[in-house]
Amino acid sequence: MLVCLTGVSGNMGHATLKELVLYEKIDKIRVFILKNDPLFKRVKKDLKKYRNRIEIFYGNLANKNDVEEFLKCADYIINMAAVIPPKSDKMPKSAIECNEVGVKNIVSVIEGMASQPKFIHIASVALYGNRGEAHPYGRVGDPLLVSPFDIYSVTKMRGELAVLESKIQYYAILRQSAMLHEYMLMDNISDGLMFHTAFNAPLEWVTQEDSARLIKNIIKRDIEKNDLDKVFWKRVFNIGAKEENRITGYTTLNDGFKLMGGDAKHMFKPNFNAMRNFHGMWFYDSYLLEDLFHYQMDTCKDYWARMKKKNWYYTFGRIVPQSLISKLVIQRLFKDSNSIKYWYKHKDLAKIYAAFGGIEKYEALGSFWDSFHLLDDGILLDGTKINLLEYKDIKNTKLIDYGYDIHKDIYDLTKEDFQNIALLHGGMMKGEFKDLFTPVLFENQDHEEFFMKPYSVYAGHWYNITYREYKWDFDRLSKKDKLYASIWYDSHEKNEDKVYYVDQDFNAHMEDI
């Protein structure tokens, strides 16, 4: 039994490797290592420790010949390779090569193999785009409204669609939620990315250990029971967590700085962080993978306890004034090109507009918490007071209109269901529906015709300009598309008329429609 694993130098990939080597029915794990990978040192020790079970392959996923050699004789391929933020923000071409071109190469190679391996592809919650207090919960089937200027999410979306539309016999796509990992603290204080996290953003945190356990349990069940054909393969899932791991951006930051004896209100000001244009949500369908594979063990509390033990020296921060820690640890990152303050100082109006709805709205935020409405304090952004426990209760959440009964099994979906989805998108299904996985001719809200498998549409895909260009035209499209509008207008005004795009050097721009 040969398992091919990419992304092993990443957090989820490394944790998965350590789980898989303990499963005795896997004879060999072939790992794909990018030449000159700066993160290789993180996994070098484990690769050496398990060298009798591990085969190292050096290459580049953007090179199809490398992919062909890597996948020879594979029984399973698990693709966790990804160029993620902040690297994807600063090295967008690398993100394109890995997240899009690399995935398309994997798909093409598998399609051409006489004996195809089973393929597990790790996607991302980033595909759903920004979520706010109106619809904090979402599920597979929500429209994919990738956030403007987020090259990571666009390339992951295109890569995922390549898998869905492929001729691979056995594949599954797992959209990973926010991940708690061992390097999170150091990574977050080395770049301005932390300022992209909206304080009221709903985040469902999964640890790298739980995610790795999931992958091992999938392989184990498939080998030992071989009963996943209708319930797992050819489906898209959200990798979710325990209920108590559904928190906000503010709580996440606050929990981290508790290690230093501080809190987010002393470390941050309201105008440090974006108000929108992020990604993250609580998963309405977290239970689906858990019911199949029973992997959810960790809580955020467990994670922070481990971090406190591992990074014991952080507790020395308790003797330092919080204002000084904020200046030395947080505010020094204002000079980073990924920070809100940097955009404001350098008049990067496109990014400011995407993150706040205009420079005036950003300036109006100010720096005082008593005038900022935190969801954690039980106050919505419009000032409405709520019971936070009731608000977070999944039984009370309001889902959007999908055009079909969400409690149906996918194999019970009908022609009429897909016609309804198309109509909500402002388009139509023009071809004859045969089954979930035979491409059908659709027409989008701009009267562009495209072929797509009905299941891809069910999973949230709907062809628009972002699939072929680095343009985000959702202000205009949402005026025609009820599915887009149901989410987009949670954080955008209906009178906003901007199209966002990047030039050939990936500089951010916007224009009035």
Cα 444 to Cα 15, 424, 471: the distances in Å are 41, 10, 17
Q: What value does the mean pLDDT take over residues 432-440?
A: 97
Distance CA 5, CA 122 (A): 11
Domains and CATH numbers, the chain: 2-179+204-242+285-298 (3.40.50.720), 410-512 (no CATH)
Predicted pLDDT of residue 279: 94
DSSP secondary structure string, 328-359? IIIGGGGGSTTSHHHHHHTT-HHHHHHHHSSH
Give the number of other Cβ atoms within 10 Å of residue 292's Cβ: 17
**Would you say 175 and 121 are in contact if contact means Cβ atoms under 8 Å apart?**
no
Distance CA 201, CA 375 (A): 9
Model confidence band, residue 314 (pLDDT cutoffs 50, 70, 90) = low
Distance CA 289, CA 231 (A): 10
Is the pLDDT at 42 greater than 80, yes or no?
no
The 10s digit of each residue's pLDDT in 157-176 is 999 999 999 999 999 999 99
Angle between helix 151-164 and helix 103-111 axes, rounded to 10 deg:
10
Between 308 and 212, the more confident residue is: 212
Model-level pTM?
0.95
Sheet holding 54-59, edge to edge: 54-59, 28-34, 2-5, 76-79, 118-124, 171-176, 235-239
The 10s digit of each residue's pLDDT in 362-382 is 999 988 999 999 999 999 999
Predicted pLDDT of residue 58: 93
- Ramachandran sector of residue 103 (left: φ over 0; alpha: ψ -120 to 50; beta: rest): alpha
Q: What value does the mean pLDDT take over residues 396-416?
A: 95
